Amino acid sequence: MNTLLQKTSIVLDTEFLYSEDYVRARRRVFKQLIQALLYENTINFREHALAVKRTEFTIRGQSISGGPVTYRCTGYRRASFGRVELSVDPVMRICNDDITEALSIREFLTEISSSFTIVVEFLERFIQELEHTLVNDALASFYASQQYLQSTAHGFSKLMRHMAYDDIESNLIKAHPYHPCYKSRMGFDVIDNIHFGPEFLPEFKLIWLAVRKSNCLSVASPSLIDGEFYQQQLGAQLAQFVAVLTTHHANPDDYLLMPIHPWQWLNQLLPLYSADIHAKNIILLGEGNNAYRPQQSIRTLTNLTQPKNHYVKLALNIVNTSTARGLAEHTIANAPVISDWLYQLVAEDAYLVENLKTIVLREVKAISFSSDAEAIASGKIACLWRESIHPYLRDGEQAIPFSGLTEIDCDRRPIIEDWVVRYGVREWLEQLLKVCTLPLIRLLYAHGVAMESHAQNMILIHKEGWPIRVALKDFHDGVRFIPEQVTHRERLSAIWTTPEQHLATNSSSYICASEPEDVKNYLYSAFFSMNLSEVALFFDLNFKLPEAVFWELLVNCIISYQREFPEQQRQFELFNLQSEHVIVEAHTKRRLQNESSVRINRLKNPLFIRSVSQSPSAVKEATS
């Protein structure tokens, strides 16, 4: 295992900045940035078809000297929601008859900024996020390349397709496939990123605190018994921590125990919460014994010492993909309530249990600390515990993060290639679509709830590569429903509504909706237009299965469900998944403009059914 000093030396000698990994990272940031700007119609541009699946996109701007400048790139409009896919060719900058590759993200956005509406301070923040993303991605890719070369030289495999779930989770270096600020991690410096970024496979221990109950919001599933829970998390160390409290002349009954990220302890708690520490609202207990490793999301951690123990999600408060990664107080209040509600919905639905064998990874306990200082916002010190996937796996089953299905391994082959070849491209894909889609449309149609099932929020369970079922996760702010229309609404009486001040800075972050279209579009934004759209492109590029065929297979899957459950006809029409157009969130536009209003795109739906014989109404007639 490489020492931290060896990892740090990669940064200190700047070798990665001269590597092909840096060039690839720069081109990727440009590609995802321009794809998002074009797709979301954020900027003015011209689009000229050159051939089938080859279009020239032109963006005009003004150089710092005042002269005209043009950026040119090629790509095509995909069959998946009209998303833009740029080619591997670099973006070109044309100024004063000089044609060169675009090299500066800052220069690009500054020169074209007159072509779109933006708040000036938002632009500077956005540029900084992109520049951080470039360096972080180049460094991670360079490190992964070096590790692969070393592993092959020593005769052992560093291929993800041979790894167990927890190791795959940490080795996925692609990050968000759409958002251009996919590795911004604002708050971390480059060395912090090496210490705590998942690509570098760090192992570290959490800092444990005792926090005064009167300053806390604490919610737990009724299935938990606090003493047993902490004993499971800490073992013999629980008694040691209680002893620390007594040395502070503190009554253990007045405190809750919670972990915090070591980076946050050093960089946020000590400077911001010194008064609370002095007043013994916060008491440092010490370092935990268990080793943890970050998952793809950075702030969710896997217990390496006891893998069957709960994952821990922390309010790290860095900014990644243009979002502050805290844990708002209302989401802490809702996490166990929503988790238990969903868990019971699934447990009481024979189709979800017996046919689909759906797994719900509950968030069983959550804590948020509020400082006595009113100027410090709540939610900056918070954590929740989520069930591990391991206790749910049956004999012969293995798990892979859903985002891993579209990952290219270190040998330049898809992780899933051997599985797809063994079972057949169409057969394997049809099974995958059934396994991942049916639980979500069942929850929507039968229970009125939409899940934010982007790729990081799903886990595929397979047997020797054959898809079997999925696990769903991340519920504290990842569901949407109309309270009056869901199953067992009485079990949701304790949920908190989203505060107005939270909506003012994150207008699309809420749980309770008033219109069925809003619920449906929520599922579309995360699952169909992002998650499955990436799978569709991946199969087109790597297995020669056209995107249009992908969506036909998915339509068949949905229609098959509708034919099996004609009694849900009203729900099929209420949440019409086969409408001609859908509305999805404009992820990049909302970060460049005022977030007090929701930024959306109205798009052509690849699931749109043109044939009357295939419409939900016809399905009802065919089965009556």
**What are the beta bridge partners of residue 210?**
257, 283
The pLDDT of residue 281 is 97
Considering only CA atoms, which of 439, 608, 586, 585 is closest in space to residue 521? 585
310 DSSP assignment: P
Question: Which residues fall within 8 angstroms of residue 97, CB to CB, at 6 or more apart?
Answer: none
325 CA to centre of own chain: 11
Q: Please give the helix or strand (H or E) that residue 600 lies within, else none.
A: strand 600-604
**Sequence letter at residue 339:** S
26 pLDDT higher than 80: yes
Label residue 382 exposed, middle or buried (CB < 10 Å: 0-12, 13-18, 19+).
Answer: buried
**What is the rounded CA–CA span in Å between residue 173 and residue 195?**
15
Compute the C-alpha angle 131/135/136, nearest 5°.
Answer: 110
Q: Where are the alpha helices (DSSP H) in 71-161?
A: 105-112, 120-153
**What is the rounded CA–CA span in Å between residue 292 and residue 299?**
11
Interval 566-577 mean pLDDT: 97
Q: Are 319 and 184 in contact (CB under 8 A)?
A: yes
Alpha-carbon dihedral angle through residues 29, 35, 37, 40, given to the nearest 10 degrees: -140
The pLDDT of residue 340 is 98
Q: CATH 3.30.310.280 in the chain, residues?
A: 1-184
Compute the C-alpha angle 141/144/147, nearest 5°.
Answer: 150
1-184 topology per CATH: TATA-Binding Protein (3.30.310)
Q: 312-341: per-residue pLDDT in tens?
A: 999 998 988 878 788 999 999 999 999 999
233 pLDDT higher than 70: yes
370 CA to centre of own chain: 27
pTM, whole model, 2 decimals? 0.94
Interval 294-308 mean pLDDT: 95
**Sequence letter at residue 197:** G
CA-to-CA dists, residue 238 to 24, 233, 278, 590, 615, angstroms: 48, 8, 23, 45, 59
Q: Are 456 and 403 in contact (CB under 8 A)?
A: yes
The pLDDT of residue 225 is 82
Domain 402-623, architecture per CATH: Orthogonal Bundle (1.10)
Q: 86-101: per-residue pLDDT in tens?
A: 999 999 999 998 999 9
Q: Are 299 and 317 in contact (CB under 8 A)?
A: no
200 pLDDT higher than 80: yes
3-state secondary structure of 68: strand
**Sequence letter at residue 511:** I
Q: CATH 1.10.510.40 in the chain, residues?
A: 402-623
69: phi then psi, degrees, rounded to nearest 5 = -140, 145
Interval 484-508 mean pLDDT: 83
